[in-house]
């Protein structure tokens, strides 16, 4: 089920109902779940604190408006999706119809597209340090859990999550594409010291402070 809601089945059911209905009042939720309105409000308050639901007044006729609860954008991400499965099936179909070379070409297109997006920010920087920081900022915006560290010789960009892990296990071209992307931005001397597909906790890219 949904990882962050496993500890409370009732709140999980509330999320499911709000997903299906689009929005519900406490009275409607109380009726569906056979729980008192006060109990429903306690659950909704807990979900609000987690940023999973929000509410707005809904007036119908004369009298005090009732509040309708809806899912937030954060809550939409709780529900399981099959993006990786679809992407792998798509790549498998391309390979079957056009060959593995076409799969490499697809990853190449993705690499160039991402580099173009990065260049908008990176081209405004003047130093290597600023360029590396801009890279990390963009990666975080793209959904990576990225961290920047350094020592006397290198900047290290550590990506602790891989948005395409399932794809990378089947198509290592995606890993090659990512390394090529770093080298195109920071130079051929960039190396990858760790890779999650090989069992490491992060994909770590080492960027020399003095370029060869």
Fold of 83-208: Muramoyl-pentapeptide Carboxypeptidase; domain 2 (3.30.1380)
Give the 3-state secondary structure of residue 7.
Answer: coil
Better-scored residue on pLDDT, 34 or 56: 34
At 6 the pLDDT is: 41
Report pLDDT for 105. 92
Global pTM value: 0.61
Domain spanning 3-76 has what CATH number? 1.10.10.10
pLDDT at residue 63, rounded to an integer? 61
By CB neighbour count within 10 A (0-12 exposed, 13-18 middle, 19+ buried), where does 177 fall?
buried
Fold: same for 3-76 and 83-208: no
pLDDT of residue 4: 45
- Residue-wise pLDDT for 126-154, tens only, equals 799 999 999 999 888 887 889 999 999 99
Give residue limits of the domains in the chain: 3-76, 83-208
């Amino acid at each position: 089920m949904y990882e962050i809601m496993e500890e409370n089945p009732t709140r999980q059911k509330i999320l499911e109902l709000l997903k299906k209905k689009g929005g519900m009042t406490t009275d409607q939720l109380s009726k569906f779940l056979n729980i008192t309105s006060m109990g429903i409000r306690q659950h909704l308050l807990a979900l609000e604190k987690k940023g999973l639901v929000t509410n707005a007044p809904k007036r119908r006729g004369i009298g005090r408006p009732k509040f309708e609860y809806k899912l937030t954008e954060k809550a939409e991400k709780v529900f399981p999706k099959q993006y990786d499965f679809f992407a792998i099936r798509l790549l498998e179909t391309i390979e079957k119809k056009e060959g593995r070379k076409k799969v490499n070409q697809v990853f190449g297109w993705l690499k160039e597209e991402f580099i173009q997006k990065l260049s908008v920010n990176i081209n405004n920087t003047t130093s290597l340090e600023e360029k590396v920081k801009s890279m990390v900022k963009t990666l975080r915006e793209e959904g990576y859990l990225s961290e920047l560290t350094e020592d006397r010789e290198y900047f290290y960009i550590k990506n602790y999550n891989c948005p395409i892990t399932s794809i990378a296990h089947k198509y290592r071209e995606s890993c090659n594409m990512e390394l090529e992307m770093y080298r195109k931005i920071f130079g051929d001397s960039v190396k990858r010291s760790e890779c999650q597909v090989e069992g490491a906790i992060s994909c770590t890219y080492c960027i020399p402070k003095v370029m060869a």
